[in-house]
Amino acid sequence: MSNKPTNPLASLQAMLDRKNSLDSEDFAAFMDKEDPLRRFRDRFQFPTLGSIPCETTGDQDSPCIYLCGNSLGLKPKQADVYMEEQLANWGEQGVFMHFNGRIPAALADQPGKEITASIVGAKSVSSVTIMNGLTVNLHLLMMAFYQPSGRKNKILIEDHAFPSDRYAVRSMLRMKGVGEEGMLMVKPRKGEETIRTEDILEMIDKNKDDIALVMLSGLQYYTGQKFEMDKISRAGKQAGCMVGWDLAHAVGNVELKLSEWGADFAVWCSYKYLNSGAGGIGGAFVHERHHGDMPPHLEGWWSNAQDTRFEMRDKVDPAIGADAFRLCNPPPWLAALNFASLEIFQEAGMEAILTKQFLITGYLEHLLTTRLSNHLKVITPKDTNHRGCQLSLVFNCDLNAVHHRIQSRGIICDVRYPNAMRIAPAPLYVSYCDVLQFVDILQEALEFCK
């Protein structure tokens, strides 16, 4: 991270040399023209004003402004092609589909592994696997890496972790015979929205005799805060803990270097920034240091190495690395959707995605704070090292009417009642003009609903 700019405004200002106002349509259009990722926008299908299930005003064929990629990413058009191929394979080949076709069903989780490994910063492709859903994977990995031992039996999580993670951790504690007091919670200081890294590090250090597992999200789903995964992973390992990450909102969104940081495991879903469709196939990372000597974990026939699986041995001949955590034969349908999206990531490159993310989120922040700060507050950190694509906005008014109004103009975004809006200008398909138009429409709605 050392060499990277940390101030998007400075970078944007540099471009302004050739334009005259950051707020102008002209500037947004200019940024789009210069955008090295602009050709990817057309690789996604956009909902239109006429195709979404709400009343809208405006040209019914015009695309919506989609700022909800933190919830469900847009569909890569290629997803249709790969899915149709899978359906054709099934129909035309029956059981032969297991080992034939572009993405053979029985091997369907393999083609995406290399790109996935590079997205999460795994040193070895065998450190990642593509399987199941996120919470299933969280359990499978915790089952192995959460090893309570005497007093060192606690799990450190955030006070405001996504409910599924809290439920998962609580039920895992119960299953391993540890009481509710096994949940150690870190939270923001009074009056603050986000958690300070120093407080997390101190919590780990102070409780190193009690913490068995540090299990945080890479990027907080509500505030948009990106945790300093490098520092926290290192501190966790130094304190003799296992370290696991829920990367639901981080994968495909921010830079990840899991191997380098030394995390023991990570899990993620693919339906947000990875654009792989609702309920899409999840993923998991297991650090290389464990590959030679995996902790006891749950097994099934897919834990077995591919080349000896059908010998149907009495005992598992384990697959190398994270694949040993697989249990079932993979669903080619989900793997095909996932692969259609991963190809775009490979082509675009995480580097370019991160660069545009830095700029476009900064642009959004600039417009919101200069034009609408009497209506809303951005609770996501200003420091770009502590955030990704998403900005979380808290309003001082009833959001219901505002949300309704902007939706009728074709803005698709996420609202968390009572008064928070999460806006994610996903770099692969959101344009600078989208962002400007969103702010214009939001401003109009805020004034209208006053």
Ligand X SMILES: Cc1ncc(COP(=O)(O)O)c(C=O)c1O
Question: Using CB under 6 A as the criterion, which residues of the chain lie in contact with ligand X when the complex forms?
Answer: 133-135, 162, 164-165, 217, 221, 246, 248-249, 269, 300-301, 327-329
- What would the two tokens of residue 51 be? 């195709």
The listed partner (its own copies, ligand X, none) that binds 376, CB under 5 to 8 Å by sort, is none
- What would the two tokens of residue 171 be? 């039920």
The listed partner (its own copies, ligand X, none) that binds 170, CB under 5 to 8 Å by sort, is its own copies
- What would the two tokens of residue 228 be? 């300093």
Residue pair 71/273 in contact by the 8 Å Cβ criterion: no
| Least CB distance to its own copies at residue 221 (A) | 10
Residue pair 331/281 in contact by the 8 Å Cβ criterion: yes
Bridge-partner residues for 129, per DSSP? Answer: 284
Closer residue to ligand X (CB): 91 or 95: 95
Closer residue to ligand X (CB): 279 or 418: 279
- Classify residue 180 as exposed, middle or buried by CB count within 10 Å of its CB (0-12, 13-18, 19+): exposed
Closer residue to its own copies (CB): 48 or 124: 48
The listed partner (ligand X, its own copies, none) that binds 334, CB under 5 to 8 Å by sort, is its own copies
CA distances from residue 341 to 89, 254, 314, 424 in whole angstroms, order as listed: 20, 16, 38, 18
Q: What is the DSSP-derived secondary structure letter of residue 87?
A: H
Give the integer Cα–Cα distance in Å for 134 and 128.
Answer: 14
| Least CB distance to ligand X at residue 262 (A) | 21
- What would the two tokens of residue 420 be? 């928070």
The listed partner (ligand X, its own copies, none) that binds 106, CB under 5 to 8 Å by sort, is its own copies
| Least CB distance to its own copies at residue 319 (A) | 12
Closer residue to ligand X (CB): 273 or 395: 273
Give the integer Cα–Cα distance in Å for 101 and 139.
Answer: 33
| Least CB distance to its own copies at residue 445 (A) | 19
The listed partner (ligand X, its own copies, none) that binds 30, CB under 5 to 8 Å by sort, is none
Length of the chain equals 450
Q: Report which residue type is found at 252.
A: G
The listed partner (its own copies, ligand X, none) that binds 292, CB under 5 to 8 Å by sort, is none
Closer residue to its own copies (CB): 326 or 366: 326
| Least CB distance to ligand X at residue 221 (A) | 4
| Least CB distance to ligand X at residue 432 (A) | 27
